[in-house]
Structure 1
């Protein structure tokens, strides 16, 4: 009887101790991940060697490119749109290439994800189960499994004339670090898609693309309250990581076509109104374990917990600090109450 009690009590005590220190509550800890983006256009390959040789050359090309970032041990790697598709093929040649390629490049990227323990996102042309041609963003998991696929919702007119069909689903993918969304190239221009994603509250948006999009990347990051990782194949365009304020925190350069950044997903955006004193008290208590970033001019701040046991949601609740979206909703409610 005594031994049975010990067997029952010890696990309970362990659970209490672990929970008390926050070790079992991953939501109550700084959520740091390392992201890598590579901005390189897939090469033009010699068609005379045959399609299988082209597939092998494509795999060798990306092996070389990925070798630039895998030694940093990223949690997430993003490469550009149509990463496994050589340039300069006619529509008929593209179809033949897809038939020969099958899943060979997918399997290669999956092997990289598995060997490095990283999530990996790339875009490819494929025929779906209904035989429809899609421009698809693929999310591979840390074990090389296919976590999910996103079919580009807004292909260009030229793409659709070439047979690519638009997707209609707007999925959010659950990763071990948070929620991830995919937008591809021309998608960036459409507010409807951005607003759908904003409502789904992603932590990270990845953007494999052939064009940069300029300040619109920052619009997406800020309005979706998400980190934004762009991998751009366009010549001379930088591949960049943006924080939820839309600020660039890492970028490729004219010398290096990749960027690596450490980001912390335990953050919230708050408004300055009613919060100046509370934020001062927050900083006074938690010191260097809370970061408060002011971009200037916006009237909002990015507040991030670097504390290993107390998450940002708990910190804000302790001092009665509401998020910017809650504040905006309250403003709308007060406006309605004061309308004639």
Structure 2
């Protein structure tokens, strides 16, 4: 059945706070900054809001490390609790990325998932740090790649430098999340599109000071913020599947003749694959796949590899 999810991604440049501003006042300014930014997307009633990496860290250009640690001490969980209040009030999920201190005093670069009731339901620790995050700031590398169960689907996370490493991407290829969220300071360019297609998942990039984007499982950018407005909201349908045209394509006409606009078959061109989605509450995309005996892209690739290695199929 159609699973429409409205997603907002925000990527303003880091909030500039002067080094002379006391930590208590800096926390108040940061909350006011995000209250203002959220005001641009909350009227659209999003199901999910994604914020950029270390979203509540004052700009490094004006707020030095020694001041930042005092700021973090005063901040504690107050800004997270602010976002939790917003999530509960507006009935939305929020991805809150921040530098977080563990109970043993060590630090992590994290993304916390806050649900519609304002509860933290999952935490991801950045797996692949830039070395100086450890060398200069004592942040430890994360080791797990959890996938979080949300009321609209399964969500995975990558943060900034993570996007350069196949180790993490391949974990998500196996886990098959519906959506990957990417809070970052680095844009990633084609890597965003590659991750989306490789993982057969929608992808949301929230990039501080750079365009935010929402990418389909075909690797197509379907929505993007602009140089004028550092936020974007769009609706995606998570009840979808990626299929290769080979063999499946013979059924597409019959599918459209039977179901019309209740099924969407989107061809991006040049890729040889399409995105099939159910646009109705009457049936799921998996039921259409079963009815017409369609083959998922990954299953087709797997069958092709097996066929290649069958006895007598490969040159001596």
TM-score tier after normalising by the smaller chain length:
over 0.9
- Residues in 2 aligned to 1:151 and 1:278: alpha-carbon distance in whole angstroms: 44
Q: 1:113-149, CA deviations, whole angstroms, 9 ceiling, x for partnerless residues?
A: 1111111002101111222111101110000000111
- Residues in 1 aligned to 2:66 and 2:101: alpha-carbon distance in whole angstroms: 14
Q: Is the CA contact 2:160–2:184 (under 8 Å) kept in the aligned structure 1? A: yes
- Residues in 2 aligned to 1:313 and 1:39: alpha-carbon distance in whole angstroms: 35
| TM superposition score normalised by structure 2 | 0.96
Q: Identify the residue that residue 240 of structure 2 maps to in structure 1.
A: 267
Q: Is the CA contact 2:112–2:124 (under 8 Å) kept in the aligned structure 1? A: yes
SS of equivalent to 1:303: strand
Q: Identify the residue that residue 294 of structure 2 maps to in structure 1.
A: 321
- Residues in 2 aligned to 1:74 and 1:87: alpha-carbon distance in whole angstroms: 27
Aligned-residue Cα RMSD (Å) equals 1.0
Structure 1 residue 57, shift from structure 2 partner: 0.3
Q: Identify the residue that residue 193 of structure 1 maps to in structure 2.
A: 168
Q: 1:20-54, CA deviations, whole angstroms, 9 ceiling, x for partnerless residues?
A: xxxxxxxxx21111000011122121332310100
Structure 1 alignment gaps of length 5 or more: 1-28
- Which residue of 23, 48, 55 corresponds with 2:27? 55
Q: Is the CA contact 1:181–1:205 (under 8 Å) kept in the aligned structure 2? A: yes
Q: Identify the residue that residue 330 of structure 1 maps to in structure 2.
A: 303
SS of equivalent to 2:35: helix
Output aligned runs, 1:18-97, within 5 Å: 29-88=1-60, 89-97=63-71
Structure 1 residue 176, shift from structure 2 partner: 0.6
- Residues in 1 aligned to 2:34 and 2:192: alpha-carbon distance in whole angstroms: 25
- Residues in 2 aligned to 1:49 and 1:244: alpha-carbon distance in whole angstroms: 44
Structure 1 residue 227, shift from structure 2 partner: 0.5
Q: Is the CA contact 1:41–1:80 (under 8 Å) kept in the aligned structure 2? A: no
SS of equivalent to 2:219: coil
The structure whose residues are more often helix, as a share, is 1
Q: 1:251-292, CA deviations, whole angstroms, 9 ceiling, x for partnerless residues?
A: 111221111101000000001111222111111111001001
Output aligned runs, 1:159-238, within 5 Å: 159-162=133-136, 163-234=138-209, 237-238=210-211
Q: Is the CA contact 2:80–2:96 (under 8 Å) kept in the aligned structure 1? A: no
**Greater Rg by CA:** 1
SS of equivalent to 1:231: strand
Q: Identify the residue that residue 19 of structure 1 maps to in structure 2.
A: none
- Residues in 1 aligned to 2:65 and 2:249: alpha-carbon distance in whole angstroms: 59
Q: Identify the residue that residue 111 of structure 1 maps to in structure 2.
A: 85
How many residues are paired up?
Answer: 310
Q: Identify the residue that residue 124 of structure 1 maps to in structure 2.
A: 98
Structure 1 residue 170, shift from structure 2 partner: 0.6
Q: Is the CA contact 2:156–2:177 (under 8 Å) kept in the aligned structure 1? A: yes
- Residues in 2 aligned to 1:197 and 1:249: alpha-carbon distance in whole angstroms: 21
Q: Is the CA contact 1:41–1:233 (under 8 Å) kept in the aligned structure 2? A: yes
Q: Is the CA contact 2:19–2:67 (under 8 Å) kept in the aligned structure 1? A: no
Q: Identify the residue that residue 3 of structure 1 maps to in structure 2.
A: none
Q: Identify the residue that residue 11 of structure 1 maps to in structure 2.
A: none
